[in-house]
Amino acid sequence: MALPPHLLIVESRFYSEISDQLVAGAEAAIAKAGASAERITVPGAFEVPAAIRFALKGLELMAVPRRYDAYVALGCVIRGETTHYDYVCQESARGLMELSLQFCIAVGYGILTCENYDQAWERARVDAGDKGGKAATAALTMLELKRRFGFFPG
């Protein structure tokens, strides 16, 4: 019998209160699905795609004891006074999409891109927007789609 899915949550800690809510939602959705997860942290949203690529490379090198069946990208970017916001939002999304397409991995996108802290808080809160839970559910849904097309596990 196959093991239940095992996910990697990659969490940006730049806005720690927001991240805590995103992770709580993701972990609840994963547990509800009967799956398991490991969690790693990175400084900001820009670093999330690289961390997932490191995990994939670790698998290639046989340095990781167990493969991850799907990935949940969590973080928050709040618009500031410079164009930095635009670059971080675009490049983190582009990096995750490229990983998804190039390596055929299931990724749940839970990086909030908001105008202000209040907007981010409402989207992150488990009892409101629960974007962390929705990102985990998206990853699990894409994993099921891989199964439907005959290449999960594998």
pLDDT of amino acid 43? 97
* 84 annotated active-site: yes
Parent domain of 94: 6-148
Q: What is the CATH number of the domain that holds 51?
A: 3.40.50.960
Residue range 94-134, pLDDT digits in tens: 999 999 999 999 999 999 999 999 999 999 999 999 999 99
Number of domains composing the chain: 1
Residue range 7-48, pLDDT digits in tens: 999 999 999 999 999 999 999 999 999 999 999 999 999 999
Active-site entry in 84, 90, 115, 145: 84
Residue 153 pLDDT level (bands cut at 50, 70, 90)? low
How many other CB atoms are there within 10 angstroms of residue 116's CB atom? 9
Instruction: Indicate if the pLDDT at residue 154 is higher than 60.
Output: no
Residue range 61-94, pLDDT digits in tens: 776 667 899 999 999 999 999 999 999 999 999 9
Note whether residue 154 is domain-resident: no
